[in-house]
Amino acid sequence: MVVVTLVGILTALIIPEMKGSFQAALLRSTSRDLINVCDLTYSRAVSLNQVRRLRLEEKTGRYAVEKRVVDQGAESYVPVDDSGCSGQLNPKISMTVHRADEADPNTPPEAPSPVPPPATGDFSEAGSTIAFYPDGTADPAVIELADQDGFRVALRINPITARIHIEEWERK
């Protein structure tokens, strides 16, 4: 009877910890997925010497890599059909995209980047975009990911190197 009681007490202590670790693992996994997509977008832009951009829909968690096309003098962006260039985040993770100047009020605002033309396809016009350029630079932005327990991770894109820096933010 004592052993059963001890097992019950230990189970009651361990299960809440396991839930938190599952949420943390899901948040880390989602951040790795977005980092991989950003790296893929960056490498395609540099290797193909063409602007590529990552379109992110905050409400649905969908993302897609787009390429710039010029048709009869008009520029537009179309989704890339390659493997790994589109997907959807886990619905338990929310995403918010901040432009670099609004993510940190202590950072001086940078010159605004040119507004790209709207994307074609089934993505909404309201989706945020982050452009990656052939010279190895990118639009400055911060992608905030949060789980249902309020834990947050920020993926800060360095505009000079187009590399991602991961930051853990305070719990909401």
Tens of each residue's pLDDT in the chain, 172 residues = 999 999 998 888 877 666 557 778 888 999 999 999 999 999 999 999 999 999 999 999 999 999 988 888 888 889 988 888 899 999 999 999 998 655 454 343 343 344 333 333 444 445 789 999 999 999 999 999 998 888 899 999 999 999 999 998 887 7
Instruction: Enumerate the domain spans of the chain.
Output: 2-169
SS3 sequence of 54-105: EEECCCCCEEEEEEEEEECCEEEEEECCCCCCEEECCCCCEEEEEEHHHHCC
pLDDT the model gives residue 95 = 93
2-169 belongs to CATH 3.55.40.10: yes
Q: What is the pTM of this model?
A: 0.73
d(CA 6, CA 4): 5
d(CA 153, CA 10): 30
pLDDT the model gives residue 156 = 94
Beta-bridged to residue 131, according to DSSP, are 53
pLDDT the model gives residue 102 = 52
Which string of b and e fits 118-133 if b means at least 16 CB within 10 Å? Answer: ebeeebeeebbbbbbb
Chain-centre distance for alpha carbon 169: 15
